[in-house]
Structure 1
Amino acid sequence: MVQVSDIDISIVIPVYHVPEELLLRCLQSIKSIRGLSREVLLVADGEDQTVCSGPAVRKFAEEADFPVFFHVKKHEGVSAARNYGISHSCGTWIFFMDADDYICGDAFEKIAPGLKGEEMDLVIMDYSMMTGNECSRHYYKKEMDFINLDSFQRDILKPQSGAGFVWSKLYRREWLSRSGVCFDTELSAAEDAEFVLKLALKKPKVFNVPYNSYYYCYNPQSAVHSFRQDYADRYINGMQKIRDDLKRENAMTQLQDEYDSCVLYHLLLIAVNFSFHPENPSKGKKRIHNFQKITRQKIFKEALKNIHLENFSMTRKVTLVCIRLHLYRVVEMIAKIRHRQRET
């Protein structure tokens, strides 16, 4: 058995309403890590979560050549579960996983020698998006090298860059502790980007490794895309928290354009996943009226004055122009097309 003092990577996995077979797939993938010692912290987010203590998971833990720890806490959300995992970890590095995803262990073998030193605080690795049987590889940078911090901060505010995802990254635990940064438990949307941005504003030494480390399993039918009455409020809260972070670190001036683009990106999400969602009980003119009220909120009103269309795909460019010109029927039509595409 690996000694706790020798742990290289602590892998923190919040568990909440995940099928046991997916959690086992996640755990089995961790076996493939070579060249680094590891521990797994399963954090059950709610006392009703019995999957962590199921016989198959217990059997895996007993047979694994690395420690698997079980923690149960009251249900407070994924951010609180990750903070709990951080506080109970012992490894030199921390790696976050979702319980229904899996890992590519050989990537760690290639970077293992570098992780033994103290030259890096944050390591960014590639990831793959799994949609059914289709796999699409996502690169951040294609060079193995240190990353310009200003560029990294800007990219975190560009959701399409992938820089703001909390997974596919290694965080030096000692540096993370000194930074004082933790996940905001008041957020239930945009919490990943808010956490990574707060870290980036603390000026870590960031290193890029162009190897695939993580398989994110995207489910277009998941609850994430189901209609929620609080959807818009959750994302507005996330954007406001990010704004507060930037102001507190005196970084708003240099990141204003990227922040406004991030706000507009989430306005487009609100249009598709809330205002013009097929399950939205409001109909016809009421839907448009409610969406118009959202666009008049200060956070969106200011961002719409500072549109940088080069930061968006063609469909998003068209949608933003339509919002700015108050062509809300066209926005509704685009949202309907997006939902039909998800169903096919």
Structure 2
Amino acid sequence: MSNDFDTLTCVINRGVNTGGAMDLSVIVPVYRISGGQLRNCIDSIKKAVNSPHSFVKHGGYEIIVVCDEPQQATGLVRNEMSQIAQDNVRLVFQPHAGVSAARNHGLRLACGEWIGFVDADDLVTENAWDVSSQLLAKKPDVIFFNHFRKYNSLEKIQYWKQDTFTAKSTNSFLRDVLSPGTDQGTVWGKLFRRMFLSENQLTFSEELAIGEDQYFMVQTVLRAKSLASSKSFGYIYSCNSASTVRAFRLDMRERIDKATHYIFEELRDEGLLDSRDGIVRKAFENYLLDRILALTINYYFHPDAPIEIRNKKAYFAFLSSVPYGDALQALSLKSLFHGDGCALPVAKRLTLLCARYHLYQLVKIAAEIRHRELASIVS
């Protein structure tokens, strides 16, 4: 099978320059996606790098498409991919190992000074890499961009209002990466300096099946000597509402716990959870509250969860476990009306307060309402 992958890769990369230095490498992991979606994604990247204001000059870029599912990859190559793998596009294949392994595969092959990650069902805008030469000359380790969320229409998410560069405090960026609802815990909509990633041996944890982006971003910001933000809107994230309705997974708690503890240990070892200003500690509390909600809805009160999970004893034991318990206890009644540092919407704060005060039946009702809402989205 591996020989088949190598043969396909050689054929599909014929004529692509994989040698010299270049400005940008864009890594696109592919798993169970149509050739049409991928073609749209690739076309948007090409359009962006060739825009008049792009920092990419003289065709100095590569798009590395990593197919993570061999059966589908073979079919795509035969039917739809031959036209895609031209003009700076490289196609490589791996036996199914997950998105982290696919991105790491792309990182090992990348030659660009800068690295961008794009999900195959998303798009980049024409302004994706409109970065001023002055900002690039300062060589920040990571550049953050504004983005759009796409439902039925585009929602403009303006997070960075001007081009900024900081070589001092990174706590504000770490807060944004941890806080729910910001989209800053994702690796898309950003540029990473390849030498920075290499020197710090930063790769994606292949042990994580949930939260791999956020853990990577926490590690990245902690190790960065300088960070920047761009006022450009560079990315279009396609929100698939149906994807929030998932079949029950018996290992969901284990998956979320693993990512949570990786991040917890990283922040604790850096002493950031005890820092005087409390910025990171509060952001991590918000992250934990969001994880409590995810497990409440998608695990403990999932309609398909076995009876031994859907009971008070198991749920209350979870709510008091480390590190979730302290975050929940820090939530006050005041937060329901005034926020009090909680970044979540009022309805979610109310559900969390019911959990904090062990109002089991009210939490159950809230979860049932949410599952009915999700079911109506996909029906």
Letter of the structure 2 residue corresponding to residue 169 of structure 1: K
In 2, Cα distance between the equivalents of 1:327 and 1:305? Answer: 14
Name the SS of the counterpart of 1:316 in structure 2: helix
Instruction: Give 1:38's aligned residue.
Output: 61
In 1, Cα distance between the equivalents of 2:143 and 2:310? Answer: 47
Which of 123, 127, 133 aligns to 1:102? It is: 123
In 1, Cα distance between the equivalents of 2:37 and 2:365? Answer: 36
Name the SS of the counterpart of 2:267 in structure 1: helix
Once the two structures are superposed, the pairs formed by residues 247-266 of structure 1 within 5 Å of their partners are 247-254=268-275, 255-266=280-291
Point out the more displaced range, 228-237 or 245-254.
245-254
In 1, Cα distance between the equivalents of 2:22 and 2:190? Answer: 17
Shift of 1:297: 2.1
Instruction: Give 2:165's aligned residue.
Output: 146
Which of 300, 313, 318 aligns to 2:324? It is: 300
Instruction: Say whether residues 1:183 and 2:204 are aligned partners.
Output: yes
Task: Tell me how many residue pairs correspond in the alignment.
Answer: 338
Normalised by the size of structure 2, how large is the TM-score? 0.82
Letter of the structure 2 residue corresponding to residue 113 of structure 1: S
Letter of the structure 2 residue corresponding to residue 290 of structure 1: A
Letter of the structure 2 residue corresponding to residue 39 of structure 1: E
Letter of the structure 2 residue corresponding to residue 123 of structure 1: I
Letter of the structure 2 residue corresponding to residue 302 of structure 1: D
Name the SS of the counterpart of 1:260 in structure 2: helix
In 2, Cα distance between the equivalents of 1:270 and 1:325? Answer: 17
Which whole-Å deviations, capped at 9, do the CAs of 1:291-315 have from their partners, x for residues lacking one? 2232132222222222374322111
In 2, Cα distance between the equivalents of 1:71 and 1:118? Answer: 33
In 1, Cα distance between the equivalents of 2:241 and 2:100? Answer: 22
Which whole-Å deviations, capped at 9, do the CAs of 1:235-280 have from their partners, x for residues lacking one? 1111000011113333332233322221121110111122222333
In 2, Cα distance between the equivalents of 1:44 and 1:329? Answer: 45
Once the two structures are superposed, the pairs formed by residues 16-27 of structure 1 within 5 Å of their partners are 16-27=31-42
Q: Residues 250, 128 of structure 1: CA spacing in aligned structure 2 closer, same or farther, 3 A cutoff?
A: same
Give RMSD over aligned pairs.
2.2
Shift of 1:85: 0.8
Which whole-Å deviations, capped at 9, do the CAs of 1:108-127 have from their partners, x for residues lacking one? 2x315346524321110011
Name the SS of the counterpart of 2:248 in structure 1: coil
Shift of 1:201: 0.6
Identity of aligned residues (%): 29
Shift of 1:86: 0.8
Structure 1's consecutive aligned runs of 4 or more residues displaced over 6 angstroms after TM superposition are: none
Name the SS of the counterpart of 1:111 in structure 2: coil
Contact 1:42 1:52 in 2 (8 A): no
Instruction: Give 2:24's aligned residue.
Output: 9
Shift of 1:220: 1.5
Shift of 1:320: 1.3
Which of 259, 275, 282 aligns to 2:307? It is: 282
Instruction: Say whether residues 1:71 and 2:84 are aligned partners.
Output: no
Contact 1:29 1:103 in 2 (8 A): yes
Instruction: Give 1:122's aligned residue.
Output: 142
Point out the more displaced range, 82-91 or 135-144.
135-144
Unmatched segments (≥5 aa) in structure 1? none
Contact 2:267 2:273 in 1 (8 A): yes
Normalised by the size of structure 1, how large is the TM-score? 0.90
Letter of the structure 2 residue corresponding to residue 276 of structure 1: F
In 1, Cα distance between the equivalents of 2:245 and 2:234? Answer: 24
In 2, Cα distance between the equivalents of 1:286 and 1:341? Answer: 20
Contact 2:300 2:310 in 1 (8 A): no
Point out the more displaced range, 216-225 or 148-157.
216-225
In 1, Cα distance between the equivalents of 2:355 and 2:104? Answer: 38
In 2, Cα distance between the equivalents of 1:268 and 1:140? Answer: 24
In 1, Cα distance between the equivalents of 2:195 and 2:160? Answer: 26
Contact 2:30 2:66 in 1 (8 A): yes
In 1, Cα distance between the equivalents of 2:89 and 2:245? Answer: 29
Shift of 1:5: 2.7
In 1, Cα distance between the equivalents of 2:223 and 2:331? Answer: 28
Q: Residues 259, 151 of structure 1: CA spacing in aligned structure 2 closer, same or farther, 3 A cutoff?
A: same
Q: Residues 328, 54 of structure 1: CA spacing in aligned structure 2 closer, same or farther, 3 A cutoff?
A: farther
Which whole-Å deviations, capped at 9, do the CAs of 1:145-175 have from their partners, x for residues lacking one? 1255111112211021222111000001011
In 2, Cα distance between the equivalents of 1:182 and 1:2? Answer: 24
Q: Could you say which structure has the larger radius of gyration?
A: 2
Contact 2:301 2:310 in 1 (8 A): no
Instruction: Say whether residues 1:315 and 2:338 are aligned partners.
Output: no
Contact 1:260 1:307 in 2 (8 A): no
Q: Residues 6, 225 of structure 1: CA spacing in aligned structure 2 closer, same or farther, 3 A cutoff?
A: same
Shift of 1:49: 3.4
